[in-house]
Structure 1
Amino acid sequence: MSLTIHYAFLPATDHEASLAFYRDALGFEVRNDVGYGDMRWITLGSPDQPETSLVIEPPAVDPGLTDDERRTISELMAKGCYARVVLGTTDLAGTFERVQATGADVVQEPADQPYGVRDCAFRDPAGNLIRINQV
């Protein structure tokens, strides 16, 4: 059996700000932008990886969640510890400079990690942690 990652979902509280971060700062292409009532899902991905996409979605959109669960998700997002994704680049220094120049929230400048990778980290506009590894 062979499985591949097709979509990963990240919550967004401001879809326009998230769109600017993923499209303009990271260079992802917009693949789909769907609205439903006052909700919106934006599918983005690297032009070099057409089979894998990130979907920016409304937070706590699952209809099965309770009000307490929605509140907990909102609190975790506000602390920046609800969702994360790790990206890879062949030019970590250049990527860091490009993203930093957009005013993105820098969590960590490029550094060698004790677990064997060199990476940096940002928070997207919703507080999601975005780590970028040198590959």
Structure 2
Amino acid sequence: MSYRHIKFAHLPVADQERALAFWRDRLGLEVALDQSYGGGWRWIELSIPGAQTRLLFTERAADAPKSEQPSLILVVDDVDAEAAALKARGVAFVEEPRAAPWSPGERYAMFEDSEGNRVLISSG
């Protein structure tokens, strides 16, 4: 196979402006692409500085159920330090940093974004 990387992962949102403000201003992602997509919707891709994979906002169906499972998993060097930094920027955690029962030595925490998506941060 000759795959090089994943271009983007999608994240369903109901309000693009609110989601953009959350991911850009609270998590520090950068706008890689923001253009009209038709029907009043925009094609917005965000990037993590230094990473190739981007995050794409897709339109959440009005009747989509809220999931308890993470929609996205972000790997960080230090879960406790990252959680503290995100809390200082107003990010609300639904699970505080703790040892991951599925992997000895790994830590994780989980927060919800502005759209109700659960996001897990993990050390591994």
TM-score, scaled relative to structure 2: 0.85
Contact 2:73–2:120, Cα closer than 8 Å, also in 1: yes
Pairwise CA RMSD of aligned residues? Answer: 1.8
Aligned to 1:66: none
Distance 1:119 1:23 in 2: 22
Match of 1:45 among 38, 44, 47: 47
Alpha-carbon offset, residue 82 of structure 1: 7.6
Match of 1:112 among 70, 84, 99: 99
Q: Are positions 1:98 and 2:85 aligned together?
A: yes
Aligned to 1:33: 34
Helix, strand or coil for the counterpart of 1:31?
strand
Distance 1:10 1:84 in 2: 7
Distance 2:42 2:67 in 1: 21
Distance 1:20 1:101 in 2: 16
Contact 1:86–1:132, Cα closer than 8 Å, also in 2: yes
Alpha-carbon offset, residue 126 of structure 1: 1.0
Match of 1:128 among 98, 102, 117: 117
Structure 1: 5+ residue stretches without partners: 61-69
Sort the Cα spacing of 1:92 and 1:115 in 2 relative to 1 into closer, same or farther, 3 A.
Answer: same
TM-score, scaled relative to structure 1: 0.79
37-46 or 111-120: bigger deviation: 37-46
Distance 2:69 2:10 in 1: 12
Helix, strand or coil for the counterpart of 1:23?
helix
Match of 1:85 among 68, 72, 76: 72
Helix, strand or coil for the counterpart of 1:127?
coil
Structure 2: 5+ residue stretches without partners: none
Alpha-carbon offset, residue 112 of structure 1: 0.3
Distance 1:83 1:10 in 2: 11
Contact 2:70–2:120, Cα closer than 8 Å, also in 1: no
Sort the Cα spacing of 1:45 and 1:57 in 2 relative to 1 into closer, same or farther, 3 A.
Answer: same
